[in-house]
Amino acid sequence: MNQSLDFLTILRRHFPVFIAAFFLALFSLAVSQILLLEVYPPSLDDYGIYMMLGSCGISLYLCGANLLVIRGRPWAVWLIVAAMVVCILVVVGHWGRRAPDLLYSIGLLLSLATLLTLNSKRYRAMLAAMVEVRGQRAAWRKRFK
């Protein structure tokens, strides 16, 4: 086992960039949801239900994609990228309708900051480390089976 890939080293080195990308994506998706509910308002009785179901769906999707990234599946980053592209399309497609322009600007900046974080050297190094750890887990399972 590679000594540079123990749990505390990976956590200390790569956790800040991972959690930054996670929260940026979460806030970006939340702003996009608020924009959609502002532009296409449901009835007041159903507003809370739509907000809760949307928030649960966003959280499950993002947690699932990031869990796949942690498990060493580098293709799962594209799930997060697809969500950010959808956020950008929502913001740009509805710019200037009913919500304040500041909300549109924040939604666009959060999406672009998430994409920038996902493309950073440290995030890519984290992906490489996670893939290597996945290979080590597979080798360990094969050896002790």
Q: What local confidence, expressed as pLDDT, does residue 57 receive?
A: 96
The parts of the chain modelled with pLDDT lower than 50 are 1
Whether the Cβ atoms of residue 12 and residue 122 lie closer than 8 Å to each other: no
Whether the Cβ atoms of residue 112 and residue 26 lie closer than 8 Å to each other: no
Digit-coded pLDDT (tens) for 36-75: 998 888 888 888 899 999 999 999 999 999 999 999 899 9
Query: Six-digit token pair at 118?
Result: 């996902």
Confidence (pTM): 0.88
Residue 134: partners with Cβ closer than 8 Å, 6 or more residues away: 71, 72, 73
Q: How far apart are CA 14 and CA 5, in angstroms?
A: 11
Query: Six-digit token pair at 24?
Result: 């940026």
